[in-house]
Amino acid sequence: MLRSSLASLIVDLNLRRTLRLSSPAAHLSRSSGCVFAPRHSSQKAITFRVQRCRPHHRVTPSFSSSSYPPPPSSSSKVLTLPTVLTLCRVAAVPLLVATFYVDGWWGATATTSIFVAAAVTDWLDGYLARKMKLGSAFGAFLDPVADKLMVAATLISLCTKPIDVAVLGPVPWLLTVPSIAIIGREITMSAVREWAASQNGKLLEAVAVNNLGKWKTATQMTALTILLASRDLSVGWLVASGAGLLYVSAGLSVWSLLVYMRMIWKVLLK
């Protein structure tokens, strides 16, 4: 019995020495199967199966990854469903420009359909990001970029084809003036928001999207949809309503810019 106890003590000392050499952060559990669990979750669990042999125990290490799930892939965090919809909106910009210069009714139909689909996905990706909690930093950066690309491409395309007014004939500046106001406002606000993000939280809150900006976006999308759909039609009242809404959107753009600037000025004076 003394010899058996001495052999068990030697095996125990050998196990502890092996543990210190292989994994100093491990914990020894003396049982029929000894499990050495590391302190850090990034390491795999080391399971020691004890096989009873004479005159001593033989320990065979085996690595098991079932205890620790693999880390999530970084691509799954970037390419979420809302982000994929936003990327599709960016990819649709050259397609919209290409179909705009196609003659015939189907060219106008295709251009209008692409723009309406882009407007719907603009709302849908934001809804899915909030509802399914799929928001990401890349998606937050890409969403306004996609919106500005689509709107700017549509405005510039419309300016290349002047609208015919019954009394005055073609008027090249009719859509150019509100287009400059809208695009200029978007460029200015992008620069202001980037500057505010590098300053402090109060400035960033001052340039957050408000109801005035939402009304601007709604009238802008409606006006552009009407102008795209009626560009080859001789429907005077429809073209006039689209141009009128575009001027309303330009006015709201300039007004919202002045409101943002006033709020920033108030924060800076405090």
Q: What pLDDT, in 10s, does the model give residues 244-258?
A: 999 999 999 999 999
Residue type, 158: L
Residue type, 118: A
Model-wide pTM > 0.85: no
pLDDT recorded at residue 42? 43
Contact 245, 165 (CB under 8 A): no
pLDDT recorded at residue 15? 57
pLDDT recorded at residue 269? 76
- In the chain, where does the domain assigned CATH 1.20.120.1760 lie? 78-161
Dist CA 143 CA 82 (whole Å): 9
pLDDT recorded at residue 213? 82
Contact 78, 85 (CB under 8 A): no
Q: According to CATH, what is the number of the domain 78-161?
A: 1.20.120.1760
Q: 167 CB contacts (<8 Å, ≥6 apart)? A: none
pLDDT recorded at residue 87? 92
Tell me how long the chain is: 270
Residues of the chain with pLDDT under 50: 2, 6, 23-75
pLDDT recorded at residue 29? 44
pLDDT recorded at residue 117? 94
Residue type, 134: L
Each residue of 82-139: pLDDT tens digit? 888 899 999 999 999 999 999 888 888 999 999 999 999 988 888 888 888 877 888 8
Write out the two tokens for 131. Answer: 């509802």
Contact 94, 114 (CB under 8 A): no
Q: How many CB atoms lie within 10 A of CB 47?
A: 17
